[in-house]
A = this chain, B = another copy of it.
Amino acid sequence: MVVAKLVYEFSEGDRDQKDLLGGKGANLAEMTRLGLPVPPGFTITTEACRFFLERGHQPDQLRVQVTAALRHLEDRVGRRLGDSVDPLLVSVRSGAKYSMPGMMETVLNVGLNDRSVVGLVEESGDERFAWDSYRRLIQMFGKTVLGVEGEAFGAALDAAKERKGVRTDVELDAGDLKTLVEEFKSIVADHTGREFPQDPREQLDLATLSVFESWNTDRARLYRRRERIPHDLGTAVNVCTMVFGNLGSTSGTGVCFTRDPATGQPGVYGDYLVNAQGEDVVSGIRNTLSLDDFAEVDPASYRELRQIMRRLETHYRDLCDIEFTVERGKLWMLQTRVGKRTAAAAFRIATQLVDEQLITLDEALERVAGAQLAQLMFPQFDIGAERTLLTRGMAASPGAAVGKVVFDSATAVAWATRGEPVVLVRKETNPEDLEGMIAATGILTSRGGKTSHAAVVARGMGKTAVCGAESLEVDSVDRAARAGDVTVHEGDLLSIDGTTGEVFLGELPVVPSPVVLYLEEGLEKAVASLQEGGNEGTADVVRAVDRLLTHADRVRRLRVRANADNAADADRARRMGAEGIGLCRTEHMFLGERRTLIERVILADSSQERDTALQALVPAQTEDFVDLLTSMDGLPTTIRLLDPPLHEFLPDRSELMVKVAVAEERGQVDRDDVRLLAAVERLHESNPMLGLRGVRLGLTVPGLFALQVRAIAQAAARRVKAGGDPRPEIMVPLVGSVMELHLIRDEADAILAEVSAAEGVDLHIPLGTMIELPRAALTAFRIAEAAEFFSFGTNDLTQTTWGFSRDDVEAAFFAAYLDKGVFTVSPFESLDVDGVGRLLDIATREGRRTRPDLKTGVCGEHGGDPESIHFFHTTGLDYVSCSPFRVPIARLEAGRAVLGHPDTHTHTDDDIEKG
Complex CA–CA separation, A685 to B700 (angstroms): 27
Assess whether A743 is in contact with B820, with CB atoms less than 8 Å apart: yes
How many copies altogether?
2
Contact B687 A739 (CB under 8 A): no
- Interface residues as binary, A766-784 with B (CB distance below 8 Å gives 1, 0 otherwise): 0000001111001101100
Q: Are B835 and A775 in contact (CB under 8 A)?
A: yes
Task: Give Cα A838 to B666, complex, Å.
Answer: 58
Contact, CB under 8 Å: B690 / A805: yes
Smallest beta-carbon distance A434→chain B, Å: 9
> Which residues of chain A from 765 to 823 have any CB-CB distance to chain B below 8 Å in the complex?
772-775, 778-779, 781-782, 796, 799-805, 807-809, 812-813, 816-817, 820-823
A726-747 vs B, Cβ < 8 Å mask (1 yes, 0 no): 0000000010110110010000
Q: Which residues of B contact A686 (CB under 8 A)?
A: 688-689, 805, 807-808
Q: Which residues of chain B come closer than 8 Å to A846, judged between CB atoms?
A: 915
Which residues on the B side are within 8 Å of A690 (C-beta)? Answer: 687, 689-690, 799, 803-805, 808-809
Chain B residues whose C-beta falls within 8 Å of the C-beta of A913 in the assembled complex: 842, 911-913
Query: Among the listed B665, B736, B743, B836, which residue makes an inter-chain contact with A662, where contact means beta carbons less than 8 Å apart?
Result: B665
Instruction: Find out whether the CB atom of A696 lies under 8 angstroms from the CB atom of B813.
Output: yes
Query: Which of A267-275, A304-312, A651-659 participates in binding chain B?
Result: A651-659
Which partner residue on chain B sits nearest A796 by CB separation? B803
| B912 and A813 contacting across the interface, CB-CB below 8 Å | no
A802–B735 CA distance with the chains assembled, in angstroms: 9
**B residues in contact with A154, CB < 8 Å:** none
Q: Is A699 an interface residue (CB 8 A)?
A: yes
Q: Cβ of B808 and Cβ of A736 under 8 Å apart?
A: no
**Among B691, B692, B803, B805, contact of A734 (Cβ-Cβ < 8 Å):** B803
A353 proximal to B (CB < 8 A): no
The interface residues of chain A, by DSSP majority, are classed as: helix
When the two chains form their complex, are residues A773 and B801 in contact, meaning their CB atoms are under 8 A apart?
Answer: yes
A432 — nearest CB in chain B belongs to which residue?
B682
A72 at the binding interface (Cβ < 8 Å): no
A692: which of B665, B737, B779, B812 is its contact (CB, 8 Å)? B812
Which residues of B have CB within 8 Å of A807? 686-687
CB–CB A813/B692 < 8 A: yes
* A619 interface hit (Cβ, 8 Å): no
Within 8 A of B (CB), among A813-845: 813, 816-817, 820-823, 832, 834-836, 838-839, 842
Say yes or no: is A568 at the interface (Cβ < 8 Å to chain B). no
- A807 to B665: give the CA distance in the assembly, Å: 32
Among B700, B740, B812, B910, the residue within 8 A (CB) of A700 is B812
- Is there a chain B Cβ closer than 8 Å to A150's Cβ? no
Confirm or deny: A299 has a beta carbon within 8 angstroms of a beta carbon on chain B.
Answer: no
Residues of B within 8 A of A736 (CB): 802-804, 835
How far apart sit A804 and B91, CA to CA, in the bound complex (Å)? 63
The 0/1 profile, CB within 8 Å of B marked 1, for residues 465-479 of chain A is: 000000000000000
CB neighbors of B among A635-690 (8 A):
653-654, 657-658, 661-662, 665-666, 682, 685-690
A690 to B778, CA, bound (A): 21
Residue of A431, A779, A782, A835 with most chain B CB atoms under a 10 A cut-off? A835
- Contact assessment for B782 and A834 in the assembled complex, using a CB-CB cutoff below 8 Å: yes
A849 at the interface (CB under 8 A from B): yes
- 8 Å CB interface, A224-254 against B: none
Residues of B within 8 Å of A657, CB to CB, are 654, 657-658
Assess A915 versus B822: contact at CB under 8 Å? Given A432-B682, A657-B654, A832-B775.
no
A802 to B772, CA, bound (A): 10
Please report the C-alpha to C-alpha distance between residue A771 and residue B734 in the assembled complex, in whole angstroms.
23
Q: Which residues of B contact A801 (CB under 8 A)?
A: 773-775, 778, 800
Shortest A646–chain B CB gap in Å is 11
Known: A654-B653, A657-B658, A690-B687. A774 touches B839 (CB 8 A): yes
Distance (whole angstroms) from the CB of A412 to the closest CB of chain B = 17
- What residues of B have a CB within 8 angstroms of the CB of A779 in the complex? 834-835, 838
Q: How many Å lie between the Cα of A112 and that of B559 in the bound state?
A: 72
| Residue from B699, B739, B816 within 8 A of A813 (CB atoms) | B699
Set of chain B residues within 8 Å of A802, measured between Cβ atoms: 736, 773, 775
Nearest B residue to A737 via CB reads B822
- A690 (CB) vs chain B CBs: closest residue: B805
User: Which chain B residues border A772 with CB–CB below 8 Å?
Assistant: 803
| Residues of B contacting A734 in the complex (Cβ-Cβ under 8 angstroms) | 803
Kindly list chain B residues whose C-beta atoms are within 8 Å of the C-beta of A774: 774, 800-801, 803, 835, 839
A739 to B225, CA, bound (A): 14
**Nearest CB in chain B: distance from A268 CB, A:** 46
**Set of chain B residues within 8 Å of A432, measured between Cβ atoms:** 682
- 10 tightest A-B CB contacts, nearest first: A775-B835, A690-B805, A774-B774, A913-B913, A691-B808, A773-B803, A687-B805, A685-B808, A739-B822, A658-B661
Q: List 15 A-B contacts (CB under 8 A).
A: A432-B682, A653-B654, A654-B654, A657-B657, A657-B658, A687-B689, A690-B690, A691-B805, A692-B812, A696-B812, A774-B803, A778-B835, A779-B838, A782-B834, A912-B912
Having A688-B808, A743-B822, A774-B800, one finds 4 other A-B pairs with CB under 8 Å, namely A691-B805, A692-B808, A774-B801, A846-B915
